[in-house]
C-alpha cells in the first residue's frame, strides 16, 4: 500500500494506492494516527487507486471517523471510490454513516461549507 499526504487549507488529503485489507490496514492506521497526534483532525481519503477494501480497511476508516467526530469535532471523508469498493461501502452499511464524495473537490467543499 502506497500512502501519500498533501496538506492544504488545514485539511489533510490522503491518497491510498493498493488493496486495503488485513495486509495493509496497520500501515494506514499508523499513518493516520501520526497525523491525528500532530493535531490534524480533518481528512479526505482519496481511494481512486484502491481496487479492493476488506473488513480490516472498513474498520480503520470507521473507527477514525468516529473518533475524529466525537473527540475533535473533525471528520474523515471519502472520495473517488471505484464502483466495486463503493458497493462494499453500501452493503457493509458504512455509506449510511460516512460522507462519501465523487471527487476531491466536492469533499473539500463540504469541509469549507461547515466552516
Partner 1 sequence: MKVRFWGVRGSVASPMTNAELAVKIETALQLAVKAGLKAETEIPAFMKSLPCYVRETVGGNTACVEIQAGDKLLILDGGTGIRMLGLDMIRRDYGGKPIEAHILLTHTHWDHISGLPFFVPGFNPKNKLTIYGAFSNLEARIRNQQKFEYFPVPLPAAFHFVQLKENSVFQIGDVQIETLPLNHPGGSHSYRMTHQNKSIVYATDSEYKDLSNHSLRPFIRFFQDADMLIFDAQFTLLENIEKEDWGHSNVFCGIDMAIEAGVKKLMLIHHDPAYNDQKLYKIFQDASEYLEIYAPDRNLEICLASEGLTLTV
Binding site for partner 1 (CB under 8 A): 21-23, 25-26, 52, 54-56, 58-59, 62-63, 66, 84, 87-88, 91-94, 96-97
Least Cα distance to 99 among 77, 66, 74, 67 occurs for 77
CB nearer partner 1, residue 68 or residue 108: 68
Give the nearest distance from C-beta 87 to partner 1 in angstroms.
6
Q: Report the SS3 class of residue 12.
A: strand
Give the nearest distance from C-beta 105 to partner 1 in angstroms.
27
Give the nearest distance from C-beta 59 to partner 1 in angstroms.
6
3-state secondary structure 34-83: HHHHCCCCEEEEEEEECCCECHHHHHHHHHHHHHHHHHHCCEEEEECCCH
CB nearer partner 1, residue 21 or residue 106: 21
Amino acid at each position: 500500500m502506497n500512502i501519500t499526504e498533501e496538506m492544504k487549507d488545514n485539511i489533510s488529503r490522503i491518497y491510498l494506492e493498493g488493496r486495503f485489507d488485513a495486509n495493509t490496514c496497520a500501515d494506514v492506521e499508523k499513518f493516520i494516527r501520526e497525523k491525528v497526534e500532530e493535531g490534524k483532525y480533518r481528512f479526505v481519503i482519496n481511494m481512486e487507486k484502491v481496487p479492493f477494501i476488506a473488513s480490516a480497511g472498513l474498520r480503520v476508516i470507521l473507527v477514525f471517523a468516529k473518533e475524529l467526530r466525537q473527540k475533535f469535532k473533525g471528520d474523515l471523508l471519502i472520495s473517488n471510490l471505484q464502483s466495486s469498493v463503493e458497493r462494499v461501502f453500501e452493503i457493509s452499511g458504512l455509506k449510511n454513516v460516512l460522507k462519501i464524495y465523487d471527487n476531491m473537490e466536492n469533499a473539500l467543499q463540504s469541509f469549507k461549507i461547515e466552516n
